[in-house]
Amino acid sequence: MEPINNKLNLYSNNTPSTHGLHILLDSLGIDVQYHKVNIWVGEHYSEDYKKINPNCRVPAIVDNRDGQTIGVFETGAIMQYLTEKSGKYLPDRISRSKDHWETIQWLYWFNSSFAPQQTEFGYYHYFAPKDIPDAKERSHNEVVRLYKVLNDHLATRQFMAANELTIADFGIFTWLIYLKYGFLPSYNDFPNIVRYYESLEKLPLFKKEVDVVLASNFNNTKPKFV
Ligand SMILES: N[C@@H](CCC(=O)N[C@@H](CS)C(=O)NCC(=O)O)C(=O)O
């Protein structure tokens, strides 16, 4: 768990929020020191990990390159940090202000709505020890609402923002892997999402992470839909 000197240390796991980050790091060509945090046995609550992410969630990074230590947690903040540092996948804040803020807006939407609501959905449909129909219905409705927002947004666009591949695409794409492979029964109800997903899936680094998700057998347990 101890961060390695002169390396970008990534604390993550085989979970939806971390897959987009894996693609981004690969795309930026960053040499990563990977630390697996096993959330199934509670490693994220250890005192050692709490020093890295006081919120006790994956992912988090400790960047020990460039002669200083910078720790960042929250998927969106990590993505923003990496792209600002590299100058890729985030249009410049001054010279391309409109594109920049469009990208940031969808990155925040991903981090504060799209990902957490699907996490709630996943909990109530796959993992909750009790069957709570109201919670299942509410999370189902909210996830479908978000997919409609996304589908409408993509009606006239190839990418989420700025007419190019940006950090807003990486995290959203990885949740769509779960949509396509059975998380919700309605992938084909969202034709613009299907087109968007399939165009990104052709990119080799995106495809590589799809294979990682599929190899994890995540959909062995099918949800009980409301
Ligand atoms: N807002 C956080 C959420 C991260 C999050 O919920 N991570 C999950 C894995 S995808 C986790 O650590 N879960 C552990 C738990 O719920 O105990 C982020 O985007 O980084």
Please provide residue 31's backbone torsions phi and psi, each rounded to the nearest 5 degrees: -80, 115
The residue to which tokens 């960042």 are assigned: 72
Other beta carbons within 10 angstroms of residue 208's beta carbon come to 12
- Is residue 164 helix, strand or coil? strand
Distance between Cα 40 and ligand 1 center (Å)? 12
Ligand 1 midpoint to CA 96 (Å): 32
169-188 residue pLDDT tens: 999 999 999 899 877 778 88
Q: Where in the chain is the domain with CATH 1.20.1050.10?
A: 97-220
| pLDDT per residue as tens digits for the range 41-97 | 999 999 999 999 999 999 999 999 999 999 999 999 999 999 999 999 999 999 999
Span from the CA of 37 to the centroid of ligand 1 (angstroms): 11
Between CA 203 and CA 124, with CA 194 as vertex, the angle to 5 degrees is 105
Q: What residue owns the CA closest to ligand 1's atom 6? A: 57
User: Which ligand 1 atom is nearest residue 55's CA?
Assistant: 2
Q: Which tokens hold the place of 102?
A: 């469009």
pLDDT given for residue 183 in this prediction: 77
For residue 218, count other CB atoms closer than 10 A to its CB: 18
| pLDDT surpassing 50 at residue 112 | yes
Read off the pTM. 0.94
Instruction: Return the number of other C-beta atoms located less than 10 Å from residue 27's C-beta.
Output: 18
Nearest-atom number in ligand 1 for the CA of 78 is: 20
Helix (H, G, I), strand (E, B) or coil at 62: strand
Contact 83, 90 (CB under 8 A): yes
8-86 CATH: 3.40.30.10
CA 63 to chain centre: 19
| Number of separate helices (H) and strands (E) present in the chain | 9, 4
CA 156 – ligand 1 centroid, Å: 32
CATH code, 97-220: 1.20.1050.10
Q: How many Cβ atoms are within 10 Å of 45's Cβ, its own excluded?
A: 10
State which of 10, 17, 37 you would mutate to test the pocket of ligand 1, scoring each by most atoms of that ligand within 8 A of its C-beta: 17
Structure tokens at 40: 């199934």
Residue 129 above 80 pLDDT? yes
Q: Tell which atom from ligand 1 comes closest to the C-alpha of 17.
A: 10
Stretch(es) of the chain classified as CATH 3.40.30.10: 8-86
- Residues sharing a CB contact under 8 Å with residue 128, sequence separation 6 or more, in sequence order: 135
- How far is the centre of ligand 1, averaged over its atoms, from the C-alpha of 94 (Å)? 32
